[in-house]
Structure 1
Amino acid sequence: MLETARYEAGRRVRGSVVLSIAVSCYSGFIIWYFTVLEGVAIEDVFEDLPPALLEAFGVQDLATIEGFLGAQIYNFVWLLGLGLYFAYVAGGTIANDIESERMDLLLSFPISRSRLIAEKCLSLFVPLVVVNVVVGTVIYLFASFVGESIDPLHLLLVHLLSLPYLLVCVGIGLVCSVVADRAAIAERAAVGVVFVLYLVESVVGGADEYDWIQYFSPTHYYEPTPLLIDGTYDLIDSGILLVSFVGLLLLSQILFHRRDI
């Protein structure tokens, strides 16, 4: 059972470790930089920016470590950086095997196409869990080391509730992976879709006449800065993201069933 998932998960361990180390190092630098800026009116730098850009940058109470981390790490590294990363990785899951003709061998075994996609998707939980656990732990410990206090429950919620958002990015990548003929096209398409959706929420969604369009972006349903500062969250938003992920996963399975390999 789950032989494909175990095999694919094993292949992702090294990349998960490298990703976690890279994000942890950047997070450590940001925390150190916050201590260097102590006493500096950071918010004055952003006061002339339009409200839409302030919202896009996640600028909220930069005088606190929570607000600074929200703007410098979670609104870019998590929302944009990791969103693009998981969309890109998921975009190559099926398309790579089709392009290399490895898919013919996989489908010769007693495994359905739906199960194959599900198990490949399941293997992506390795980097999803590893990066959240490792980076979250590093941020909390390093902040404590430099004398800053972060509510551990708020930090836990930031990482836990990021999973539904990142899963939606994975779902977008899977749909692109079963549609495109080449892995490079699928990966770029997935990255492009996630990036456009990020811009839709961050820029276009700030205009009153286009306010409705923000509901199509997954970033609308995950706001890490207020969650990190005061623990504000809505489980309905997480539920919407999970339903969206399931819908994208089912769509990728349907499209893969209809595709001629």
Structure 2
Amino acid sequence: MFEITNFEMGRRVRGTLLLSGSLIAFVVLTIALFPSIQQSGVNLDAYIQNLPEEARRAFIGDVDSITTIDGYLASQFYQIAWLLGLGIYYAYAGASSVAKEMENGTLELVLAHPVTRTRLVMGKYLALIPSMLAVNAFTFLSVYVSVEFIGEFLDPGYLLALHAYSIVYFLACASLGMVASVRFDTARRARTVGVGAIFGMFLVDTVTFGTDYEWIGDFAFTRYFDVGKILTDGTVSADDFAVLAVAAVALLVVSAELFERRDV
């Protein structure tokens, strides 16, 4: 299993570095704009308070002000680029893992070696974890250093809590992608399902929150990751964390079981 993990990790190094570099550039640009936004004199907080609840939850998140550095980052970076963008990325990566081998015709060669299907799924899944850790570490450092550079203060404990919490959320997204990867024959179809599922969850969570249909949004991973609360006041819900952890493990078990039963 670890031979598969090591091999897959090596293949992901370049992609991880490119992703980290892109996020660092985005972080630097976003934070560099903050002083001018803060000094503009425009009452942005009044503007966001007047937004429809669905739009505010989707694009701003659970923050009271975007003129403070923590609220600004939560709304302008973590709510979309992190919660939605990276969630989609790891669902896409998980969906590509096994389905791509099927599509390329290399899966039979892999399974010809003394390796079970469950070990193959586990090995490919575990190879995503170093990427998640590296992306989180690089982004954490870039955010903290950039905030210090412009003379603002961001609680490092809250920031660390947000990035640590992110890991279990990304693992859940990757597990969902893995289910799609073992279910479909082509990588394109698996990726479409994985990406569509995360995006669909985000939309459902947004439009059902605070309505009579709020229970539907309880099935969305994004319902259990409130970037605004974690970054602005350090509130971390152990129950929400447990839901994401259970979902990650359960979906991984489901993907391994589906793959064991499937004709290849």
Fold in common (TM above 0.5): yes
- For 2:143, the equivalent position in structure 1 comes to 139
Measured in 2, the distance between the counterparts of 1:11 and 1:97 equals: 14
Aligned-residue offset at 1:63? 1.6
Q: Do the aligned partners of 2:172 and 2:248 also contact (CA within 8 Å) in 1?
A: yes
- For 1:206, the equivalent position in structure 2 comes to 210
Deviations 1:190-232 (A, max 9, x none): 000110011111122332x101112101111110111101101
Choose which of 203, 216, 220 in structure 2 pairs with 1:217. Answer: 220
Q: Do the aligned partners of 1:214 and 1:220 also contact (CA within 8 Å) in 2?
A: yes
Task: Figure out how many residues of one structure are paired with residues of the other and give that number.
Answer: 260
- For 2:34, the equivalent position in structure 1 comes to 34
Q: Do the aligned partners of 1:13 and 1:126 also contact (CA within 8 Å) in 2?
A: no
- For 2:23, the equivalent position in structure 1 comes to 23
- For 1:230, the equivalent position in structure 2 comes to 233
Change (3 A) 1:52 1:206: farther
Aligned-residue offset at 1:171? 0.7
TM-score normalised by structure 2 residue count: 0.96
- For 1:56, the equivalent position in structure 2 comes to 58
Choose which of 188, 194, 204 in structure 1 pairs with 2:192. Answer: 188
Measured in 1, the distance between the counterparts of 2:214 and 2:105 equals: 45
Choose which of 254, 257, 260 in structure 1 pairs with 2:260. Answer: 257
Q: Do the aligned partners of 2:78 and 2:227 also contact (CA within 8 Å) in 1?
A: yes
Aligned-residue offset at 1:164? 1.0
In structure 1, stretches of 5+ residues that fail to align are none
Measured in 2, the distance between the counterparts of 1:203 and 1:28 equals: 31
Counterpart check, 1:242 vs 2:234: no
Counterpart check, 1:197 vs 2:201: yes
1:195 is matched by which residue type in structure 2? F
In structure 2, stretches of 5+ residues that fail to align are none
2:76 is matched by which residue type in structure 1? Q
Equivalent residue of 2:250, what SS? Answer: helix
Counterpart check, 1:95 vs 2:99: yes
Aligned-residue offset at 1:245? 0.5
1:165-184 map, 5 Å: 165-184=169-188
Equivalent residue of 1:257, what SS? Answer: helix
TM-score normalised by structure 1 residue count: 0.97
Which shows bigger deviation, 36-45 or 189-198?
A: 36-45
2:249 is matched by which residue type in structure 1? V
2:137 is matched by which residue type in structure 1? V
- For 2:154, the equivalent position in structure 1 comes to 150
Deviations 1:82-115 (A, max 9, x none): 0111111111100000111111011011111001
Moved >3 Å (runs of 4+): none
Q: Do the aligned partners of 2:86 and 2:170 also contact (CA within 8 Å) in 1?
A: yes
Measured in 1, the distance between the counterparts of 2:64 and 2:167 equals: 23
Q: Do the aligned partners of 1:52 and 1:206 also contact (CA within 8 Å) in 2?
A: no
Q: Do the aligned partners of 1:60 and 1:71 also contact (CA within 8 Å) in 2?
A: no
1:9 is matched by which residue type in structure 2? M
CA RMSD of aligned residues (A): 1.1
Choose which of 30, 47, 50 in structure 1 pairs with 2:49. Answer: 47
Q: Do the aligned partners of 1:168 and 1:241 also contact (CA within 8 Å) in 2?
A: yes
Measured in 2, the distance between the counterparts of 1:47 and 1:67 equals: 13
- For 2:4, the equivalent position in structure 1 comes to 4
Measured in 1, the distance between the counterparts of 2:53 and 2:200 equals: 20
Equivalent residue of 1:12, what SS? Answer: helix
Q: Do the aligned partners of 2:37 and 2:67 also contact (CA within 8 Å) in 1?
A: no
Measured in 2, the distance between the counterparts of 1:119 and 1:52 equals: 39
Deviations 1:19-65 (A, max 9, x none): 00101111111111111112332223323212232122214311210
- For 1:85, the equivalent position in structure 2 comes to 89
Q: Report sequence identity in percent.
A: 37
